Amino acid sequence: EDKVVQSPLSLVVHEGDTVTLNCSYEVTNFRSLLWYKQEKKAPTFLFMLTSSGIEKKSGRLSSILDKKELFSILNITATQTGDSAVYLCVGRGSTLGRLYFGRGTQLTVWP
Amino acid sequence: DAGVTQSPTHLIKTRGQQVTLRCSPKSGHDTVSWYQQALGQGPQFIFQYYEEEERQRGNFPDRFSGHQFPNYSSELNVNALLLGDSALYLCASSLEWTNNNEQFFGPGTRLTVL
């Protein structure tokens, strides 16, 4: 059964801290690994990773994929209160566009 | 350029009733996927529509049905509502389901079944 597992499920940090969110996946005919940020309702796209070992970076956020170990991490440096959200890790299989979501990591950043 | 829109934003129904949720995809997108997100869980895939046909389906009962119109908008219908159907229903659109294209999500419809 295809699945995506995220850890931790919940994380509380102070502004300025660095956090690492973990994601392991088992997705048939894996195509890509995506990260989304969900603040209130609509998840917003952060990264799509298709190749191992190539870091994707956007400002203070970065992510990398390990296709051998079926693992990805999302790093956020110098966290801000605006980073408080649920971060969803998503596996995409085959060519049908179906997404397999993890439960998400609830990140809370205190001022 | 309008993104993905959904209506209504909130809905309250009672057990046994039927509900229809609507989604308009991002301009230029032709594929619509529906997801159910229960409280504290990640979204679960319900089904996907492309060229007015259901292309694939997740593990949801036949009470969940859908439709896609020629303008690519879509509806999700749920019959014989159960308490467990209470959730946020998300619609996502993309271009060409055959490719590894990003899916854009709408704001969702919060369904509460009493």
Separation CA B82–CA A82 (nearest Å) = 36
- Model confidence at A95, pLDDT cuts 50, 70, 90, reads low
> Pick from B99, B103, B108: which is nearest to A41 by CB?
B108
Q: Do B48 and A44 lie within an 8 Å CB cutoff?
A: no
Q: 3-state class of A16 per DSSP?
A: coil
Residues of chain A with Cβ-Cβ distance to B2 below 8 Å are none
Q: For B92-99, what is the mean pLDDT?
A: 75
Whether the per-residue pLDDT at B78 is higher than 80: the answer is: yes
Strands B44-50 and B31-37 come out as antiparallel
Question: What rounded mean pLDDT belongs to chain B?
Answer: 92
CA distance A51 to A44: 21
Residue A54 carries which DSSP code? P
State percent of chain A over pLDDT 70. 97
pLDDT tops 90 at residue B9 = yes
- Side-chain-facing half-sphere of B103: CA atoms under 13 Å: 31
Q: Is B51 helix (H, G, I), strand (E, B) or coil?
A: coil
